[in-house]
Structure 1
């Protein structure tokens, strides 16, 4: 998951910028990070859909598509996206063969839970791999952090953009929504690339839909490196429904986030994943170098520094090893 980003350096002040999380290279957020994933659970847990188990003995096996800690509209969106991607790319993907303790993992205290999902593409496919993850962590403030992510990466046989969606929720009224088809070539140097994937597809119209919502503000990553990787039509917003009435966040997810995300995935599947583009040997070398640099940087600045803080060295080492294999495979 070249786009993986797990929370690091989070501020307790929720008015500051969220910083990136979970397995897409895209952010560096500043939501509250648990000071220790191994301390006692918060006495005031606040979870969006279902309660976390109080001890490891109560924990039953979970899988990526369960999305057990988020609201129904959030869960339904993620399940539909995964199902759509798998159904369209089924013949191009190998089964998920991750060990059970990587597909679902949690800290001894039960304060942090996570799931990882990876399906590699067949050698004849343009798809490098599909990666999904979710993370649930109790916060020192008494709330909970929930991150759900789905991304797909193409190999050097095509120069088409990748796909990324990530939802980062730190309270029932605060959510950061990231959606992008990150470019794999410089749109300035290759104007045909800009026109084909970002102008002709009208991705900009999807981004503009959120400008009409009073609860929406732009989200800006504090990491300049991350900003260099996004497309000109990327959706990076913060949704704040405090004072807007109970259920408003779920309404926005269902009526606005859901249709936009599904349309973006449809565009990516039809115009990128399933459309053949001819790439010469020089182009393949360029893509392999660029993709490799981004993957390594993702692990260096996001995952490698943050994941051990959330899950401890043993769990983090086990999961990071699998991620590195996917990135470098």
Structure 2
């Protein structure tokens, strides 16, 4: 939900949780290229919480990257986070006919931490054509006691040869009114070089979400790209994830750890209130424009109400 999500995961669930791209992808999924089934994308049987960590439906390079990102979060932030306490039927859920599966993983920060919450999710949806859509999101939100950017990564895989990637440290202040914010978090960290590197690859093109709101919340250095290979070049997408996206994502998460999540910043009462208001708007907008529409269709109203009800409570806590 990246702003997700999505996603956003997605994500963001998003982007935060899933981004608004999720809805567009699923709405037009009948026109997408089909995913061929393969042993590596078969689901793994596990308990709800470990089911999320195993990322059972994605290709090996993406699974390895997501596991490494989660491991890095545990290593760097584990002592600042509460355990995941979601109900089992929210940690993992599916629709009645088994054509759509989802997992949600949330860890909130302890009171003394700068971390508000870590939110991860994935969705696997079989298509009538015989393929599948896989959406994987990981978002990290900071408290209003700091004004540093958040972190989000979202993969939207609509076929073996088609991938949308969203990767960013979304700003939490106006970059025009606060040029020092732009300098500290984006210029000094040279984040834009990662976007430039990916867009030099022949099969990579800029991606533009159909939602102007989603496009407005990301930074000028955000990576929002579409990767399209030929029908017989499935391994090319996997190679790009392993050789290019993986090192970039790990470096950007490291930058977020070092510059954003571990540095105390003086934030006044008025600014803190404004940050909290802004963060809440973005989180709720994610549910409103994406998940609230797509989840009932994918999972049925009962499952959607259960999962989104818990998610709303978490995001507005």
Common fold by TM > 0.5: yes
Match of 1:241 in 2: 229
For normalisation by structure 1, the TM-score amounts to 0.87
Gap regions ≥5 residues in structure 1:
8-18, 37-43, 54-58
- Is the Cα–Cα contact under 8 Å of residues 21 and 168 in structure 1 kept in the other structure? no
Summarize deviations over 1:105-127 as a string: whole Å, max 9, x none. Answer: 11121111111000000111110
Decide whether aligned partners of structure 1 residues 45 and 205 sit closer, same or farther in structure 2, where only a CA change above 3 A counts. closer
| Counterpart secondary structure, 1:80 | helix
Summarize deviations over 1:98-148 as a string: whole Å, max 9, x none. Answer: 111111111121111111000000111110000000110001222100011
Whether 2:158 is the aligned partner of 1:170: answer yes
> For 2:95 and 2:182, how far apart are their aligned partners in 1?
44
Summarize deviations over 1:138-176 as a string: whole Å, max 9, x none. Answer: 012221000111000001100000000000001100000
Corresponding pairs, count: 307
> How far off its partner does 1:313 sit?
0.7
Summarize deviations over 1:29-78 as a string: whole Å, max 9, x none. Answer: 53244889xxxxxxx9734533359xxxxx76442101111111010000
Match of 2:311 in 1: 323
Whether 2:207 is the aligned partner of 1:219: answer yes
For normalisation by structure 2, the TM-score amounts to 0.91
Pick aligned residue for 2:269 from 281, 284, 287:
281
Flag the structure with higher helix content. Answer: 2
Whether 2:13 is the aligned partner of 1:22: answer yes
> For 1:35 and 1:237, how far apart are their aligned partners in 2?
19
> For 1:32 and 1:45, how far apart are their aligned partners in 2?
14
Match of 1:257 in 2: 245
Summarize deviations over 1:240-295 as a string: whole Å, max 9, x none. Answer: 11156341111110000100100100000100001111101111111111112112
RMSD across aligned positions (CA) = 2.4
> For 1:315 and 1:184, how far apart are their aligned partners in 2?
32
Decide whether aligned partners of structure 1 residues 78 and 60 sit closer, same or farther in structure 2, where only a CA change above 3 A counts. closer
> For 1:305 and 1:149, how far apart are their aligned partners in 2?
18
Match of 2:217 in 1: 229
Q: Which runs of structure 2 are paired with 1:97-176 in the superposition (5 Å)?
A: 97-176=85-164
Decide whether aligned partners of structure 1 residues 254 and 109 sit closer, same or farther in structure 2, where only a CA change above 3 A counts. same
Gap regions ≥5 residues in structure 2:
none
Match of 1:310 in 2: 298
Decide whether aligned partners of structure 1 residues 3 and 47 sit closer, same or farther in structure 2, where only a CA change above 3 A counts. farther
Whether 2:195 is the aligned partner of 1:207: answer yes
- Is the Cα–Cα contact under 8 Å of residues 80 and 115 in structure 2 kept in the other structure? yes
| Counterpart secondary structure, 1:247 | helix
